[in-house]
Amino acid sequence: MDLAAALFLGTVASYALACAFFFAHLARGGERSTRLATRTLAASIGLHVVFLGVTMADAGRPGLAGIHQTLAVLSFLVALGFLASMRRRRLTVLGAFITPVTLLLLLGAGLRGHVTEVPEHVRSAMLSVHIVVNVLGIVAFALAFAVALAYVIQEQLLRRKQLGGVFQRLPALDVLDALGLRLVTIGFPLFTVGVVTGSIWAAQLGRGSASLSTGQNFALLAWLFFACVLLARAAAGWRGRRAAVGTMLGFLCALAAIGGYLLQSAGGT
């Protein structure tokens, strides 16, 4: 086993342990589980940095070499973004919803198939912008997904009048709704730039809209869901559950887009 593979497995194991601690904190609360979850997540991020450094060194350049390395960076930024927001807003309990997403993305980065590198003659600054803004947009959407999922769970507990335990540990509904709106508002323009630059880049390669891949179709569907959520919030006064469900569906479409790109990479097409 080479160093990169060992670091990958260690990082996956560390995130899985952090996920277990966050679930324990959600279920039982307590300062001990909070400290364990937070420290394990920080250690996971540290391992992740080393893993990224080794893989980029192996690739021979600091940029993002293909979908797998992009996913490795994406999962890192999701974890880092959550850790930063958690410290500012004391949202530790949401780690039970975001660490599984981080772990899933990182596992996707490890699904190595036949990786087709982007040829030198089609690389451009626009492609780099497309990748960066898409990654940053999906980071915001991933955090919004965790907030939306917490909202739906919290609302169900309130409807059932189960006002102890998990209900007391989750943030208030108005806090979750406002935070979810802020995150989608941040992610949507970034994702929009990603969709537009991706379309322009594809057009420059001579790929028409009729030949959109599965990943591109799901990316457009994700964009449509988030656009509808923001429009409905502004025009129809959507709040709460409907906005949360729309946010969750949008992020699931973004995940499906990533899955489509992974399948395309595995097939070498």
pLDDT tens-digit series, residues 44-78: 999 999 999 998 887 665 555 578 888 999 999 99
What's the pLDDT at 109? 87
Closest C-alpha among 16, 213, 3, 207 to residue 100: 16
The pLDDT tens digits for 175-231 are: 999 999 999 999 999 999 998 888 787 776 665 444 567 888 899 999 999 999 999
Helix axes 241-267, 125-159, angle to 10 degrees: 140
**pLDDT-based confidence at 239, cuts 50/70/90?**
confident
Q: Which tokens sit at 153?
A: 């769970």
CA neighbor of 265 nearest in space, from 12, 70, 63:
70
- Residue 242: CB atoms within 10 Å: 13
What is the spatial distance between Cα 253 and Cα 135, in angstroms, rounded to a whole number? 14
User: Which CATH number fits the domain 121-269, given the four candidates 3.40.50, 1.10.20, 1.20.120, 3.30.70?
Assistant: 1.20.120
Name the pTM for this structure: 0.89
